[in-house]
Amino acid sequence: MTFVRWSFLLIALGLTLPSMAEELMSFGSALNQTRYQSLVEELRCPKCQNQNLADSGSGIAVDLREQVHHMIEQGKTDQEIVEYMVARYGEFVLYRPRHSSATFVLWYGPFILLGLGVIIFASVIIANRKKRGLSS
Protein backbone atom coordinates (compact mmCIF):
# COMPACT_ATOMS: atom_id res chain seq x y z
CA MET A 1 0.00 0.00 0.00
CA THR A 2 2.80 2.43 0.82
CA PHE A 3 4.49 1.67 -2.51
CA VAL A 4 1.30 2.61 -4.38
CA ARG A 5 1.00 5.90 -2.50
CA TRP A 6 4.63 6.83 -3.13
CA SER A 7 4.30 5.90 -6.79
CA PHE A 8 1.19 8.05 -7.16
CA LEU A 9 2.91 10.94 -5.36
CA LEU A 10 5.97 10.74 -7.60
CA ILE A 11 3.86 10.61 -10.76
CA ALA A 12 1.78 13.60 -9.62
CA LEU A 13 4.93 15.53 -8.74
CA GLY A 14 6.49 14.69 -12.12
CA LEU A 15 3.43 16.02 -13.94
CA THR A 16 3.35 19.30 -12.01
CA LEU A 17 7.06 20.13 -12.06
CA PRO A 18 7.09 21.75 -15.53
CA SER A 19 4.26 24.11 -14.60
CA MET A 20 5.86 24.85 -11.23
CA ALA A 21 9.19 25.62 -12.88
CA GLU A 22 7.60 28.27 -15.07
CA GLU A 23 5.90 29.86 -12.08
CA LEU A 24 9.28 30.09 -10.31
CA MET A 25 10.75 32.36 -12.98
CA SER A 26 11.33 35.79 -11.55
CA PHE A 27 11.31 38.88 -13.71
CA GLY A 28 12.93 42.24 -13.16
CA SER A 29 9.70 44.03 -14.01
CA ALA A 30 6.12 43.45 -15.05
CA LEU A 31 7.08 44.62 -18.55
CA ASN A 32 9.65 41.83 -18.81
CA GLN A 33 7.03 39.29 -17.77
CA THR A 34 4.60 40.65 -20.37
CA ARG A 35 7.31 40.50 -23.04
CA TYR A 36 8.12 36.94 -22.02
CA GLN A 37 4.48 35.84 -22.30
CA SER A 38 4.16 37.52 -25.68
CA LEU A 39 7.31 35.91 -27.05
CA VAL A 40 6.64 32.36 -25.84
CA GLU A 41 3.13 32.55 -27.30
CA GLU A 42 4.46 33.84 -30.62
CA LEU A 43 7.33 31.37 -31.07
CA ARG A 44 6.61 27.84 -32.29
CA CYS A 45 8.10 24.76 -30.65
CA PRO A 46 10.59 23.14 -33.08
CA LYS A 47 9.60 19.66 -31.91
CA CYS A 48 5.83 19.93 -31.50
CA GLN A 49 5.35 21.92 -34.72
CA ASN A 50 1.80 23.11 -34.02
CA GLN A 51 2.23 24.35 -30.47
CA ASN A 52 3.82 27.50 -29.26
CA LEU A 53 6.52 27.49 -26.59
CA ALA A 54 4.02 28.44 -23.90
CA ASP A 55 1.77 25.42 -24.54
CA SER A 56 4.43 22.80 -25.25
CA GLY A 57 5.75 20.51 -22.57
CA SER A 58 8.64 19.09 -24.62
CA GLY A 59 12.17 19.35 -23.31
CA ILE A 60 13.28 21.72 -26.05
CA ALA A 61 10.34 24.03 -25.36
CA VAL A 62 11.28 24.16 -21.68
CA ASP A 63 14.87 24.98 -22.64
CA LEU A 64 13.76 27.66 -25.10
CA ARG A 65 11.44 29.25 -22.52
CA GLU A 66 14.40 29.44 -20.14
CA GLN A 67 16.52 30.92 -22.94
CA VAL A 68 13.89 33.56 -23.70
CA HIS A 69 13.66 34.40 -19.99
CA HIS A 70 17.44 34.68 -19.73
CA MET A 71 17.70 36.89 -22.82
CA ILE A 72 14.93 39.20 -21.61
CA GLU A 73 16.61 39.60 -18.26
CA GLN A 74 19.90 40.36 -20.07
CA GLY A 75 18.17 43.31 -21.72
CA LYS A 76 17.87 41.90 -25.23
CA THR A 77 15.11 43.36 -27.39
CA ASP A 78 12.25 41.25 -28.71
CA GLN A 79 13.71 41.58 -32.21
CA GLU A 80 17.10 40.28 -31.04
CA ILE A 81 15.44 37.30 -29.35
CA VAL A 82 13.39 36.47 -32.45
CA GLU A 83 16.46 36.80 -34.69
CA TYR A 84 18.38 34.44 -32.38
CA MET A 85 15.60 31.84 -32.58
CA VAL A 86 15.31 32.17 -36.36
CA ALA A 87 19.09 31.88 -36.77
CA ARG A 88 19.07 28.67 -34.74
CA TYR A 89 15.82 27.01 -35.84
CA GLY A 90 14.87 28.72 -39.10
CA GLU A 91 11.76 30.64 -40.09
CA PHE A 92 9.67 27.69 -38.90
CA VAL A 93 9.73 28.97 -35.30
CA LEU A 94 7.69 32.01 -36.33
CA TYR A 95 3.91 31.65 -36.32
CA ARG A 96 3.75 34.67 -38.62
CA PRO A 97 6.53 34.23 -41.20
CA ARG A 98 8.19 37.37 -42.49
CA HIS A 99 7.27 38.87 -45.85
CA SER A 100 9.97 37.88 -48.33
CA SER A 101 10.31 36.42 -51.79
CA ALA A 102 10.45 32.94 -50.23
CA THR A 103 7.12 33.44 -48.44
CA PHE A 104 5.35 35.37 -51.21
CA VAL A 105 3.18 32.39 -52.18
CA LEU A 106 2.37 31.69 -48.53
CA TRP A 107 1.09 35.22 -47.93
CA TYR A 108 -0.48 36.06 -51.27
CA GLY A 109 -1.18 32.67 -52.89
CA PRO A 110 -4.69 32.30 -51.46
CA PHE A 111 -5.70 35.74 -52.78
CA ILE A 112 -4.23 35.00 -56.21
CA LEU A 113 -6.09 31.68 -56.36
CA LEU A 114 -9.32 33.36 -55.25
CA GLY A 115 -8.91 36.00 -57.97
CA LEU A 116 -8.27 33.33 -60.61
CA GLY A 117 -11.31 31.39 -59.40
CA VAL A 118 -13.53 34.49 -59.70
CA ILE A 119 -12.20 35.21 -63.21
CA ILE A 120 -12.78 31.60 -64.35
CA PHE A 121 -16.24 31.55 -62.77
CA ALA A 122 -17.19 34.83 -64.43
CA SER A 123 -15.87 33.71 -67.82
CA VAL A 124 -17.84 30.43 -67.62
CA ILE A 125 -21.04 32.33 -66.72
CA ILE A 126 -20.52 34.82 -69.55
CA ALA A 127 -19.74 32.02 -72.04
CA ASN A 128 -22.91 30.14 -71.03
CA ARG A 129 -25.06 33.26 -71.41
CA LYS A 130 -23.64 33.93 -74.85
CA LYS A 131 -24.16 30.31 -75.85
CA ARG A 132 -27.79 30.41 -74.70
CA GLY A 133 -28.33 33.72 -76.41
CA LEU A 134 -27.00 32.42 -79.74
CA SER A 135 -28.93 29.13 -79.69
CA SER A 136 -32.32 30.65 -78.72
101 vs 121: which has the higher pLDDT: 121
Both 35 and 62 in a single domain? yes
Q: Could you give the C-alpha distances from 33 to 20, 67, 73, in angstroms and in order? A: 16, 14, 10
Both 82 and 104 in a single domain? no
Report the number of distinct structural domains present in the chain.
2
Q: What pLDDT score was predicted for residue 116?
A: 96
pTM metric for this prediction: 0.58
Virtual CA dihedral for 103, 104, 106, 108, nearest 10 degrees?
Answer: 160
Is residue 13's pLDDT more than 60? no
pLDDT tens-digit map of 73-110: 999 999 999 999 999 988 888 877 777 777 788 778 89
CB distance 53 to 40 below 8 Å? yes
Both 9 and 65 in a single domain? yes
CB distance 58 to 65 below 8 Å? no
Both 76 and 34 in a single domain? yes
pLDDT above 90 covers a percentage of the chain that reads: 30
Both 38 and 76 in a single domain? yes
Range of the domain at 120: 99-136
pLDDT interval class at 8 (50, 70, 90): low
Both 24 and 65 in a single domain? yes
